[in-house]
């Protein structure tokens, strides 16, 4: 079997040569610059059971890009891939999306209920187009599918196998509905899809062939190659530094001195944006992340960070190091959190650049973990491993004015004492 | 792998001896930020601790340029005083509520004024190029205010300082004053000098009804004519007027 990574490289080259708009190169990983709009869907194609959401205005090539990738990875015609997707509108029903009872079963002498599953339900490349045009109640259907990774209808269950999930979403319009927070948490990565810039527009103007014609020129993956991708990604190692940075990143977003159990995910009506924080020790401290976002991060974020770091490192043929984490983490986190308005409205964010705001928080957390937190983390680890007296460690740790030391390390050591 | 092994691997022996330093940030970019830090009814010292007059002048100018919401008017007022006190030259500002709140030594020049101008000021000068609103110079204990005219409750509970009004004042000027000097070149409405205990009130024009009602100290001089019941229930102090209407109390004197 040829190296699937080479085929992915060939696919990227073909997309560029065919002048398809795949977004600008806005993702810096070390020295390399790649396009987030293209590389996150590619990374998702190398994983299974994860979901990538492309977010942007009409005509940003979101749906076409996912369908072209589907055509290549599933080795299908573009028309066939387009038939696999479901598109959001208020009249979409569960029957239209996943399947319906086979009416022929009542004319047959059969005791088993038979369901006719839709191509979308059976497919391993699932695109939910314009997901926020589904009313909130119908969005719950996808919540269940993304959670269970299988589809049930009328007591029958279909397990399509390891699936790549994609969704597209428009900004809020009159015809869209708010996205459920639980559904957003199950979406691994959210990528802004931008309109073509000047040069991309020029390239598009020079394109002579239609997308359907171009799709035929793309390299195709065999089922064996497609199935081999998750194994190859799993082979990419993650260093202890990255693991530690991920752990601290999650705790930085989640810890809250005023939340039950110091866990911000326990909060409902009391939130930083609703006046929870004034008077708190960490409030308005630019180094502290807790007061700057409303929500804590779930463990799904940790899994998504690890998987997408691996997948991105695989695509770029490099180690899953901190540079990869710095690039990937904002896209994994920004759609899951709501920045506090007073912090987001400041320059240079002006209330609109949420991804950039979250990127800065991520950068702060990682830098802090690598530098200022070293002594504190080593003290804690020595105390846990019994190399340092717990009382002495507690005394030393109490001198650290860090949320993780105060709300995680000290309570943990006190329980061990 | 032990936790220590994991940490050692993560840091690869490169641990900085430096302690964590979680400093309190000075992220004040707007009146809203300031309100987050000190609340909407702080003391002047609390505001000055975050936005000192001798600190970042750009920040001070930026905050003063913002149109305050109703909840942030007191903050803006303190900032106007802090800026005026720190400024070596008179500070010109737009007319807003609470301008010159607790002013100590600076000079403010305002193109017109709204309510609560110069409230609780203890020093300095405020020049208003136009009329002032309600509660002008309320509870002031020093300094001086010069304005064209004012509306109700001007110079209430004044303890010191002076005020000169070139035109008219509406009702209730100088209520409960225990000190200070008020010179009014125009006329005033009802109940001027009500409950006055000290200080002086000079009115070049006419005064409304109930002048010096229940006053117990201080001096009121009206060059024009006082309204009905001047000096009604007066317990002390002096009232002199060019003329007075019906039912004036005993002891209200005419001008020589």
Q: What is the mean pLDDT of each run of 10 residues along chain A (417 residues)?
A: 85 84 86 92 95 89 92 91 89 87 77 85 92 88 84 87 91 84 92 86 75 84 93 93 95 94 91 87 87 93 96 94 95 94 85 92 93 91 92 92 93 92
**Extended beta strands in A78-169, E state:** 86-87, 99-101, 115-117, 125-129, 151-153, 156-158, 164-169
Considering CB atoms only, which of A285, A346, A371 is closest to B24? A285
Q: Which residues of B touch A (CB under 8 A)?
A: 2-4, 6-12, 14-25, 27, 29-30, 32-33, 36-37, 39
Tokens of A396: 């030393």
Residues 6+ apart with CB under 8 A from A90: A133, A134, A135, A138
- How many whole angstroms separate alpha carbon B74 and alpha carbon A357? 31
Considering CB atoms only, which of A385, A387, A401 is closest to B22? A401
- Please list every residue in chain B whose beta carbon sits closer than 8 Å to the beta carbon of residue A343: 27
Q: When comparing pLDDT for B22 and A278, which is higher?
A: A278
Element containing residue B253 per DSSP (H, E) = strand B253-254
Cβ contacts below 8 Å, chain A against chain B, sum to: 94
Considering CB atoms only, which of B6, B8, B27 is closest to A286? B27
Element containing residue B36 per DSSP (H, E) = helix B31-38
Mean pLDDT value across chain B? 89
Tokens of A61: 């090539």
- Closest approach of B11 to chain A, Cα-based (Å): 7
Considering CB atoms only, which of B3, B6, B24 is closest to A284? B24
B41-62 average pLDDT score:
84
Range(s) for CATH 3.40.50.300 in chain A? Answer: 4-234
Q: When comparing pLDDT for B245 and A327, which is higher?
A: A327
- How many whole angstroms separate alpha carbon A68 and alpha carbon A65? 5
- How many whole angstroms separate alpha carbon B85 and alpha carbon B67? 21
Tell me what pLDDT residue B98 has: 94
Q: Could you tell me which chain A residue has the CA closest to the CA of B12? A: A241
| A378·B23 Cβ contact <8 A | no
Q: What count of residues does chain B have?
A: 256
Maximum CA pair distance of chain A?
79
- Do B234 and B217 touch, CB atoms closer than 8 A? no
- Do B118 and B100 touch, CB atoms closer than 8 A? yes
| A381·B18 Cβ contact <8 A | no
Considering CB atoms only, which of B2, B12, B36 is closest to A284? B36
* Segment B140-156, tens digit of pLDDT: 999 999 999 999 999 99
- Please list every residue in chain B whose beta carbon sits closer than 8 Å to the beta carbon of residue A244: 6-7, 10
Tokens of A366: 């990682």
Quick count: other Cβ atoms within 10 Å of Cβ B115? 20
For the entire predicted model, the pTM comes to 0.67
- Please list every residue in chain A whose beta carbon sits closer than 8 Å to the beta carbon of residue B3: 380-381, 384-385
Q: Could you tell me which chain B residue has the CA closest to the CA of A246? A: B10
Considering CB atoms only, which of B3, B8, B24 is closest to A384? B3
Burial of A84 (0-12, 13-18, 19+ CB in 10 A): buried
Mean pLDDT value across chain A? 90
- Please list every residue in chain A whose beta carbon sits closer than 8 Å to the beta carbon of residue B12: 241
ipTM above 0.90, yes or no: no
- Do A309 and A238 touch, CB atoms closer than 8 A? yes
Considering CB atoms only, which of A378, A384, A401 is closest to B20? A401
- Closest approach of B119 to chain A, Cα-based (Å): 28
- Closest approach of B58 to chain A, Cα-based (Å): 15
Considering CB atoms only, which of A243, A376, A382 is closest to B20? A376
- Please list every residue in chain A whose beta carbon sits closer than 8 Å to the beta carbon of residue B36: 278, 283-284, 342
CA torsion angle B83 B86 B91 B94 (round to 10):
10
- How many whole angstroms separate alpha carbon B221 and alpha carbon B213? 14
CA distances, A193 to each of A64, A93, A118, A309, A350 (Å): 12, 28, 28, 20, 20
- Please list every residue in chain A whose beta carbon sits closer than 8 Å to the beta carbon of residue B32: 342
Cα B45 to chain center, whole Å?
Answer: 16
From the list A104, A96, A108, the residue with the least C-alpha distance to A153 is: A96
User: Kind of pairing, strands B253-254 and B236-244?
Assistant: parallel
Tokens of B35: 């309100």
A99 φ/ψ sector (left φ>0, alpha ψ -120 to 50, else beta): left
- Please list every residue in chain A whose beta carbon sits closer than 8 Å to the beta carbon of residue B20: 372-373, 375-376, 400-402, 405
Quick count: other Cβ atoms within 10 Å of Cβ A137? 9
Residues 6+ apart with CB under 8 A from A18: A207, A209, A214, A217, A218
**Extended beta strands in B25-167, E state:** 91-93, 107-110, 122-128, 142-147, 162-165
CATH superfamily of A4-234: P-loop containing nucleotide triphosphate hydrolases (3.40.50.300)
Local structure of A145: helix, strand or coil:
helix
- Please list every residue in chain A whose beta carbon sits closer than 8 Å to the beta carbon of residue B19: 372, 375, 399-400
B84 φ/ψ sector (left φ>0, alpha ψ -120 to 50, else beta): alpha
Burial of A148 (0-12, 13-18, 19+ CB in 10 A): exposed
| B20·A244 Cβ contact <8 A | no
Local structure of B174: helix, strand or coil:
coil
| Confidence grade of residue B19 (pLDDT, cut at 50, 70, 90) | low
C-alpha triplet A252, A258, A259: angle, nearest 5°: 75
- Closest approach of B88 to chain A, Cα-based (Å): 31
* Segment B154-196, tens digit of pLDDT: 999 999 999 999 999 999 999 999 999 999 999 999 999 999 9
- Please list every residue in chain B whose beta carbon sits closer than 8 Å to the beta carbon of residue A287: 22-23, 25
Q: What count of residues does chain A have?
A: 417
- How many whole angstroms separate alpha carbon A257 and alpha carbon A280? 8
Tell me what pLDDT residue A15 has: 86
Q: Could you tell me which chain B residue has the CA closest to the CA of A370? A: B11
- Please list every residue in chain B whose beta carbon sits closer than 8 Å to the beta carbon of residue A241: 9-12
Among the residue ranges B23-32, B87-96, B234-243, the one predicted with the least confidence is B23-32
């Amino acid at each position: 079997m040829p190296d699937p990574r080479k085929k992915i490289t060939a696919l990227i080259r073909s997309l560029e040569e065919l002048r398809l708009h795949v977004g600008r190169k806005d993702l810096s990983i070390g020295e390399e610059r790649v396009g987030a709009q293209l590389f996150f869907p590619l990374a998702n194609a190398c994983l299974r059971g994860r979901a990538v959401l492309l977010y942007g205005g009409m005509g940003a090539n979101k749906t076409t890009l996912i369908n072209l990738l589907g055509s290549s990875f599933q080795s299908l015609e573009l028309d066939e891939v387009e038939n696999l997707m479901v598109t959001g509108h208020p009249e979409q029903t569960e029957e239209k999306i996943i399947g319906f009872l086979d009416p022929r079963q009542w004319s047959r002498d059969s005791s088993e209920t038979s369901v006719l599953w839709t191509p979308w339900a059976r497919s391993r490349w699932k695109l939910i187009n314009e997901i926020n045009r589904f009313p909130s109640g119908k969005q719950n259907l996808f919540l269940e599918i993304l959670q269970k990774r299988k589809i049930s209808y009328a007591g029958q269950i279909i397990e399509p196998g390891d699936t790549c999930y994609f969704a597209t979403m428009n900004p809020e319009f009159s015809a869209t509905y708010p996205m459920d927070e639980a559904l957003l948490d199950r979406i691994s990565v959210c990528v802004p899809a931008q309109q073509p810039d000047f040069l991309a527009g020029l390239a598009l103007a020079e394109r002579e062939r239609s997308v359907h014609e171009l799709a035929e020129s793309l390299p195709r993956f065999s089922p064996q190659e497609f199935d081999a991708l998750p194994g190859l990604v799993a082979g990419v190692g993650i260093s202890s530094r990255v693991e530690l940075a991920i752990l601290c990143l999650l705790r930085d977003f989640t810890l809250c001195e005023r939340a039950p159990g110091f866990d911000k995910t326990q909060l409902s009506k009391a939130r930083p944006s609703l006046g929870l924080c004034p008077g708190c020790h960490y409030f308005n401290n630019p180094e502290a992340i807790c007061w700057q976002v409303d929500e804590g991060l779930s463990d799904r974020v940790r899994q998504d960070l690890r998987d997408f770091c691996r997948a991105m490192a695989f695509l770029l043929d490099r180690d899953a190091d901190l540079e990869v984490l710095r690039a990937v983490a904002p896209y994994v986190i920004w759609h899951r959190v709501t920045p506090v308005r007073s912090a987001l409205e400041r320059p240079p964010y002006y209330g609109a650049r949420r991804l950039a705001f979250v990127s800065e928080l991520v950068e702060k957390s990682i830098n802090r973990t690598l530098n200022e937190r070293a002594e504190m983390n080593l003290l804690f680890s020595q105390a846990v491993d019994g190399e340092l007296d717990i009382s002495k460690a507690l005394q030393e740790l109490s001198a650290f004015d860090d949320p993780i030391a105060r709300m995680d390390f000290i309570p943990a050591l006190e329980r061990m004492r | 792998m032990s936790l220590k092994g994991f940490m050692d691997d993560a840091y690869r022996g490169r641990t900085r001896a430096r302690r964590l330093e979680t400093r309190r940030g000075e992220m004040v970019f707007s009146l809203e930020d300031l309100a987050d830090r000190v609340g909407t009814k702080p003391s002047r010292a609390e505001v000055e601790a975050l936005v000192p007059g001798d600190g970042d002048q750009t920040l001070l100018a930026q905050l003063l340029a913002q149109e305050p919401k109703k909840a942030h008017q007191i903050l803006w007022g303190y900032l106007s005083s802090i800026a005026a006190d720190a400024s070596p030259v008179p500070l010109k500002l737009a007319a807003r509520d609470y301008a010159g709140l607790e002013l100590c030594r600076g000079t403010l020049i305002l193109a017109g004024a709204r309510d609560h101008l110069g409230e609780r000021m203890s020093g300095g000068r405020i020049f208003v190029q136009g009329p002032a609103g309600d509660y002008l110079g309320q509870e002031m204990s020093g300094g001086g205010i010069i304005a064209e005219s004012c509306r109700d409750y001007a110079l209430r509970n004044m303890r010191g300082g002076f005020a000169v009004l070139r035109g008219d004042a509406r009702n209730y000027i100088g209520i409960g004053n225990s000190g200070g000097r008020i010179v009014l070149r125009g006329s005033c409405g009802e109940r001027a000098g009500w409950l006055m205990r000290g200080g002086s009130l000079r009115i070049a024009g006419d005064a409304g009804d109930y002048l010096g009602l229940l006053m117990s100290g201080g001096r009121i001089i009206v060059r024009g004519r006082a309204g009905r019941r001047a000096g009604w229930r007066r317990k002390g102090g002096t009232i002199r007027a060019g003329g007075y209407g019906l039912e004036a109390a005993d002891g209200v004197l005419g001008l020589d």
